[in-house]
Structure 1
Amino acid sequence: MNQNIIISYNARVLVADARKALLLRNVGTASDLSLEVEQVFEAPHNAPTRQQGTDRPGRTASGSHRSSLGQTDFHQLEEEQFSSMVAEKLEVICAGNNIQKLFLVAPPKALADLRRAMSETVRKRIVAEYDKDLVNFPVDEIEKHLAS
């Protein structure tokens, strides 16, 4: 993370990807990071699109031309729905004013999906974003990555 970014006491860190999100709280100091898991969000099993869609893509006709429509990416839709669900949960938590400072840690695609799904209320609390995939690391490893 950027050297100028300090994760202060009681700040929240959302570590996420397209299938799992951890909401962590710093119970340590800004100089001695100590993250504690507050909530875990997990998406239900998301099978590949080829296993979710059974029909062939539709076709369209325009005059004498026929073309097929693109296959719906059900896998991508599930990932976007998960990001929306996480954003809604954060909205509820922020509405209770439990979060003043929020740090986002996610791979670039998941960051984009989260940003798109978040309300202005949640976005105003974001202090920094870190585009790394750390959600499957143990909490002590996440602390090391964020402290460096």
Structure 2
Amino acid sequence: MAGIPKNALVFAGDGRKALFLRNEGDDRLPNLKAEAVFEHQNPPTHLQGMDRPGHFIKGIVSGQRGAVAPTNWHELEEYRFTRRVARAAEDIVRRGKATAFVIVAPPRTLAQLRATLAPDVKRQIIAEIPRDLTRLPVGEIEKHVVEALASRTR
């Protein structure tokens, strides 16, 4: 594969922001255009959950108590957001609007997407790039994706 195929869908996202970009050019001269943008306000855990961690008794006879790790509300919201954008990606791919699917995301988000996406959509994936490019302009994202795809074909 030389580059991003025409009409390929490029997902660039993390647990707070997701960009769906479509290649309106061809595989030699890509031209990524924004198709959809998702943003999610996700404050730190200490602002979302104020409960103290729970405790449990390990054994009635020993009377030992143990602590339960506190819920990380921030990570939970990132996971929910990732599931939501995965459904949006599935909708776009299933409507036949994408000839291929490229995912660019930090490793944790990439793993969550792999676990969430349906098998028929996973078959459309031509590349997974473990990087966070969400803060870059579209032109820079395009450049990084082209470079990553080119380095894989060498």
TM-score by length of 1: 0.92
Report deviation, 1:62: 2.1
Percent of aligned pairs sharing the same letter: 42
1:10 to 7, 10, 13: 7
Superposition RMSD on alpha carbons, in Å? 1.2
1:99 equivalent to 2:98? Answer: yes
CA distance in 1, matches of 2:19, 2:106: 14
Q: Which amino acid in 2 is paired with 1:42?
A: E
**Deviation >2 Å, runs of 4+:** none
1:56 aligned residue = 52
Tell me the distance in 2 between the aligned counterparts of 1:5 and 1:13. 15
Query: Residues 118, 101 of structure 1: CA spacing in aligned structure 2 closer, same or farther, 3 A cutoff?
Result: same
**Structure 2 partner of 1:110:** 109
Pairwise CA distance, 1:5: 5.2
Q: 22, 29, 35: which one pairs with 1:38?
A: 35
Note closer, same or farther for the CA distance 1:5–1:110 as it changes in structure 2 (3 Å cut). farther
Please name the residue that 1:145 is paired with. Answer: 144
Give the greater-gyration-radius structure (CA): 2
Residue 59 of structure 1 and its aligned partner are, at CA, apart by 0.6
- CA shift at 1:147, angstroms? 2.2
CA deviation digits over 1:64-114, x for unaligned, max 9? Answer: 110111000100000000010011111222221222300001111111111
1:47 to 34, 40, 43: 43
TM-score by length of 2: 0.88
Amino acid at match of 1:69: V
Q: Is the 8 A contact 2:6 2:99 kept in 1?
A: no
Unmatched 5+ stretches in structure 1: none
Deviation track 1:12-67 (CA, whole Å, cap 9, x = no partner) reads: 11011111111111111111111010011111x21111111111111100221101
State whether residues 5 and 128 of structure 1, in contact with CA within 8 Å, keep that contact through their aligned partners in structure 2.
no
Choose from 12, 18, 21 the match for 1:21. Answer: 18
Structure 2's unaligned 5+ residue stretches are 148-154
Contact 2:38 2:85 in 1 (8 A): yes
Q: 1:141 to 1:77 in 2, by over 3 A?
A: same
Q: Distance in 2 between matches of 1:100 and 1:120?
A: 16
Cα contact 2:2–2:28 (8 A) shared by 1: no
